[in-house]
Structure 1
Amino acid sequence: MQHLPEILKIIEGGVKNNATQVASYASLLADKLESEGLQRDAGSIRKKLNSVASPADLTPHAIDSTPLPVDRDSRLTLGDLTLPILENSQVQLNDQVKEKVNEFLEFIKQSHLLTSAGVGITPSMLIYGPPGCGKTQLANNIAAHLQLPLITARCDTLVSSFLGATAKNLRSLFDHAASRPCVLFLDEFDAFAKARDDHHELGELKRVVVSLLQNIDSLPEDTILLAATNHEELLDAAVWRRFAYRIKIPLPNPELRKGLIEQFLGEFQNGGLATLADVAKGMNGAVIKQACQAAIRKAIISGQDNIDNDYLTIKLAQDQYTNIIDDQKMTDEEKVVRLKNLNAKLFTISRLSAMFGMSTGKISKLTSTRGKLNEQ
């Protein structure tokens, strides 16, 4: 039965006397029936909802629908609710990661088959890797593919200075996510999932980990849970076992860097993507995006239809060699010589001139065999 998961959630909500859950999943069922061309059946469900449910329960996919829980003391919400769309949540992944993500999505989309066969699913994924590699973007992409709202936990309000308040906040957020169709996303996961054998942590934070584990264990098997961290080495060992999928997103390889630059530049690209991808070696997607956006802004202000590849190359190079360029102990002349010696192909005389505001003649003299400074 194709819509068995939604029907089971409606029954569960009725048994628990949870009107919000009933209305949320009934509305989701109506949306799915309508997308399949069954407008009359969808209309019958919505008509029944309108006759028995409060208006606040009728739009689970709307931003202003069922209010998110709040911290008791600050009265700030424990999460942010968004409605990701595919056009704005594209993510570049290597083939191995892409295969795992597609499998994860397919299991969720075909959950009715697994449920009918008595085989439960565990729609949970832990995403880890260096900063800026697309972990948050992947969470948005997954929610967009599933056409579900994304509830992103807010660490600043979840973690409270009051004894026991953090555990209560976690429970409130997890209960809310279990009562409605959504994807619950725990970003900066290490903030409340640190190893309990860390002697530098207070007892209260260790109790938070226990509470987190209990909340994950009590989630309905069809509630979708995502978590992301830049510091997987800090996570408690028991946390890893709670996630059916554990995906590492590495720094982008040359092909992915080329795809990222093409994606970020869009209609402003000006060829030479392979060369730009080579310059961006070792960079994460976030840094590459910043450089591309800077190049686009310059093109727009200059009245150009395409970016200046040399300008973008310089921006990428500045990020790539920031340890030298920002070194306060070196003079600009010493930096010019050092950069030229490290990568003569990248740091041409004209690029070094643009970077340091020196004449090409002076750059040429500094980098010539006779004029090179002693780097000792």
Structure 2
Amino acid sequence: MIKVESEILNKSGKRENWREIAFFASDDETQFEVREYYGQQKISYMKETARLPFDCLGIARMNYSNMLRTRVIDGYEPIEQLKTKVPCLPFSNFKPPMYKCDFDVPFAEQLSKINDPVVIPVQQGKRAYIKLGQESINSIQAVDIKGNAFTLDKNIQEMLASKVAIGSFESGVLETYILDDGSVCLYDVIMLNGTEINSSYKDRQKSLKGMFGHKSGFTYPDTLEANTDLKSHPGRHFIVKDNSVSCLDSRTFVIPNFYSVKVLIEEKYSYRPGYYKVMFTTPEGYESIGDLYHPHEELYANTQIQIAFKKVENGKPVNFWFSPIQHKNKLNYDEDGTDIYQMAQLSEFWHGC
């Protein structure tokens, strides 16, 4: 069991009365306990007086709150500086940080406002957060940026579990990217052994490399200086963090690094799941430009979408992907704006520094 949260309360009188109400969770977060400790004179004299087991998070949290409330009614006063809470736990309640992308302020200006910026390129994959624990492989959990749980490939779970070591690295929450080939790139660390990691980003990366190594099957992102020519970099976008703050800091933002133009879905391949043929409109009709791989949601023929890309060959985009910039209405059948003349005015469709 991991102590997720606790609060120490004091009641003054002839004897100093101390109580601690603590909330515990198993590493796989299927079992929970609320424990109470009591002692007189000194905090160090407290001993366990009650232990209530639960198999439902909501009921366990309710009992934890009720027990605290009851002790306050009894005349106990919470000692705020002794209150503790492990970041990210329970992981089933974890809300991933939201990274902003503000198109209303020039990205170079946003970058200049960060005291010690670290620019981290992203070339592929999806951001995810992974919790590790020492009890079993079932203790490994993952959520996407919306907080939705998903199951990692078994080989990745086994690789992660092999790095857990009693006495040194027993639990943690990692910021990662799940790459297109199914491998994991370790971008940041939020918590280790019940403590939020507040060292610099560069030091956090050193810690990750020390724990996971370079021959473990995991990879690590590059980091760029703020004065780098970002447009020429192959990264699809950049995560900008302040080197001096933790992973959960709200100042982290995203700089895009691509062209985004409108196209039409020509057809969905029945024999290639997740693949679609896309096309431009032309004065003569339509012109196919290639295949789009987008397995995350179903797209429909004759609807308008935007594709993002970095390279152009023979006047057409190559190696393109589903742009994060899309019409608010997913089923947009309007062909207006999808003409091939966009390629002659690419500077108007650039998003980035």
Please report the TM-score for the alignment, with normalisation by the length of structure 1. Answer: 0.27
Please report the TM-score for the alignment, with normalisation by the length of structure 2. Answer: 0.28
- RCO higher in 1 or 2 (8 Å CA, sep ≥ 6)? 1
Higher strand share: 2
